[in-house]
Copies of this chain bind each other. A is one copy, B any other.
Amino acid sequence: MARSPNDTRRPLTLRDVSEASGVSEMTVSRVLRNRGDVSEATREKVLEAARTLGYVPNKIAGALASQRVNLVGVIIPSLSNLVFPEVLSGISTELEDTGLQPVVGVTDYSPEKEETVLYEMLSWRPSGVIIAGLEHTATARAMLDNAGVPVVEIMDVDGEGVDSVVGISHRRAGLQMAQAIVAAGYRKIGFLGTKMPEDHRARKRLEGFSEGLSQAGIALRDTEFYSGGSALLKGREMTEAMLARSPDIDFLYYSNDMIGAGGLLYCLEKGLDVPGQLGLAGFNGVELLDGLPRRLATMDACRREIGRKAAEIVAAQSGKTSAAGEVVELQPVIQFGDTIRKP
């Protein structure tokens, strides 16, 4: 296969294939893209030639000529968060047979890096952009505005989007959890979460949560924040710290399932009565929880569905010159698990 005779390592082009098969470059192009009419005989001939040469089309040239790029930029804060790979997976499956391909960029929760990554992506003229969050630098927002392609901001609907928006209301999610906790009779409530100032969604959940408590005339009893490190371990440590500091606390709300799981393991180890004496809840609904000794209460963040829907919007709009921005708010559902008392 490929490249034995006359291997000067000059990169192969359409011309090589066209010469090898005795037809014009245009015809080769047609065959390789399955576009336009080509007789079965020449099609075979061309494919054969391409195969034996080991020809791989040059999409750079193709994209420049056709002004079409089958890439969709996906910009997310992190890959180690479990959440985002799942969103990606939703995007991939939805894009599977649209001919579009996701290209991932990671920002590490840094607005400046987001700007850089976005610039880099747009310079490849993708057919669409899917980007996490509604908060961007002014420059980034301007780039999205001028991109001239469908833009979908995902994860969060609490705010103003550039074009389309797909996500859940984290504020409402926090609020609902607060209501559920209060309804179950808990009163002395602590919050544990990330310190990361750029995790806007965690912040909004906390805001909604506080509001929910206020409505019931309750104030947060204690809070604890962390950054970096093994989330499971941090959850454990923070839980220990908080229980030591505020021993009368009767509920711990974690900003994500990972630290919640750490807290749960800690409580079980200490022989605490969960959920009788102490209730626990996390956020996200990660698969991991299925393997824990007890099911942590949580709230599904609709990650896969968010990815699916965002990809669907991009696929539908790509090609169209302009389309109205769509806002899709998904509804997360509380999963009570075994760590909240039945009301």
Contact of A106 with B92 in the complex, beta carbons under 8 Å: yes
Contact of A79 with B69 in the complex, beta carbons under 8 Å: no
Contact of B11 with A232 in the complex, beta carbons under 8 Å: no
Partner-contacting stretch, out of A19-27, A155-163, A286-294, A326-334 = A286-294
Cβ of A94 under 8 Å from chain B: no
The residue of chain B having its C-beta at the shortest distance from the C-beta of A259 within the complex is: B291
Cβ of A47 under 8 Å from chain B: no
Contact of A124 with B262 in the complex, beta carbons under 8 Å: no
**Range class of the A interface residue count:** 35 or more
The residue of chain B having its C-beta at the shortest distance from the C-beta of A263 within the complex is: B291
Cβ contacts A234-276/B at 8 Å (1 or 0 each) = 1110000000000000000000000001100100010000000
Cβ contacts A98-142/B at 8 Å (1 or 0 each) = 000101101000000000000110111100000000000011001
Cβ contacts A138-166/B at 8 Å (1 or 0 each) = 11001101101000000000000000000
Cβ of A324 under 8 Å from chain B: no
Contact of A125 with B292 in the complex, beta carbons under 8 Å: no
Complex contacts, A1 vs chain B, CB 8 Å: 138-139, 142
Partner-contacting stretch, out of A57-65, A175-183, A209-217 = A57-65
The residue of chain B having its C-beta at the shortest distance from the C-beta of A232 within the complex is: B291
